């Protein structure tokens, strides 16, 4: 158990809908990362938040958005869903920007499997 | 741009034997970290081992060791005494430290199958 929790574990929805994925980082971790794992794109970095602020953006679609709340949990919002958005969405957390490289080791949550029908 | 290449889509090994999973990387940042993760069929990503670009010795964690050859830009994972429970997908990943970005870039993965 990494200490990172994600809900829900599975989500099935229809095209055009909007969903919210939730992540709680490990206690003490300030950074939260979102990754998407799909069959055709592999594992891709979407976005990072550090202590409530967006820190880095990867291959995140405009239909997707995220935020990190004062209690450090994060939510990934996916809207106007398409079939191709079906994937496993991981949240990871790390201590943050301070410290040495090992302090930035990312611990992954169990993932949310999204199926768009 | 940082890039990770895993050229072995699948590997087979017999129980109790050692296996090497290949990983090569490309980066212009002199400060970086290399990671290996295991993803069993249940889907979670399990951290296995880490190697920093300035680390003088190869990393080891139990049955896992990382064969780090900096000049060749390779970071192969060696699993000794394979067990049935080692059957999983294995991903190599890299993080650059000087760019200010903390994202992990992953390879395409290698599926390892351990047979009795």
The b-or-e profile of A96-117 (16+ CB within 10 A means b, else e) is beeeebeebbbbbbbbbbbebe
Which residues on B lie below 8 Å from A102 (Cβ)?
Answer: 50, 52
Q: Which residues of A touch B95 (CB under 8 A)?
A: 101, 104
Q: Confidence class of residue A17 from pLDDT cuts 50, 70 and 90? A: very high
- 3-class state of residue B84 by DSSP: helix
Q: Is A99 a residue whose pLDDT tops 50?
A: no
| Range list of β-strands (E), chain B | 3-5, 10-14, 19-21, 24-26, 32-39, 46-52, 60-61, 64-69, 74-79, 88-96, 105-106, 110-115
The number of C-alpha atoms within 13 Å of A53 and in the hemisphere containing its C-beta is: 3
Which among A42, A48, A113 has the least Cβ separation from residue B102? A48
Residue from A20, A53, A19, A59 nearest A36 by CA:
A59
Whether residues A104 and B44 touch (CB distance < 8 A) is answered with no
Buried b (16+ CB within 10 A) or exposed e, B77-100: bbbeebeeebbbbbbbbbbbbebe
A64: which strand partners? A78
pLDDT tens by residue, B27-69? 998 888 999 999 999 899 998 999 999 988 999 999 999 999 9
Q: Which residue has the higher pLDDT, B97 or A64?
A: A64
Probe site for chain A from B89, B103, B108 (most A CB atoms < 10 A): B103
Closest residue in A to B96 (Cα) is A101
Q: Which residue has the tokens 């079939």?
A: A83
Nearest CA in chain B to A113: B43
């Amino acid at each position: 158990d990494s200490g990172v929790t994600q809900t829900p574990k599975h989500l099935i929805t229809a095209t055009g809908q909007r969903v919210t994925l939730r992540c709680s980082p490990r206690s003490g971790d300030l950074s939260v990362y979102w990754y998407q794992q799909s069959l055709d794109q592999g594992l891709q970095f979407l976005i990072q938040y550090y202590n409530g602020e967006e820190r880095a953006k990867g291959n995140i679609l405009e239909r997707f958005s995220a935020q990190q709340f004062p209690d450090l949990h994060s939510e990934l919002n996916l809207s106007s869903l398409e079939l191709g958005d079906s994937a496993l969405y991981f949240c990871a957390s790390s201590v943050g920007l301070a410290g040495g490289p090992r302090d930035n080791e990312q611990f992954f949550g169990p993932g949310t499997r999204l199926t768009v029908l | 741009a940082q890039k990770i290449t895993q050229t072995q889509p699948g590997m087979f090994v017999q129980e109790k034997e050692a296996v090497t999973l290949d990983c090569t990387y490309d980066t212009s940042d002199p400060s970086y970290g290399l990671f290996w993760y295991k993803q069993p069929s249940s889907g979670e990503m399990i951290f296995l081992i880490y190697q920093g670009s300035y680390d003088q010795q190869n990393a080891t964690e139990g049955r896992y060791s990382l064969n780090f050859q900096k000049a060749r830009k390779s970071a192969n994972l060696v699993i000794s005494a394979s067990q049935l429970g080692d059957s999983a997908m294995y991903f190599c990943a890299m993080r650059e430290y000087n760019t200010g970005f903390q994202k992990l870039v992953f390879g395409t993965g290698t599926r390892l199958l351990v047979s009795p």
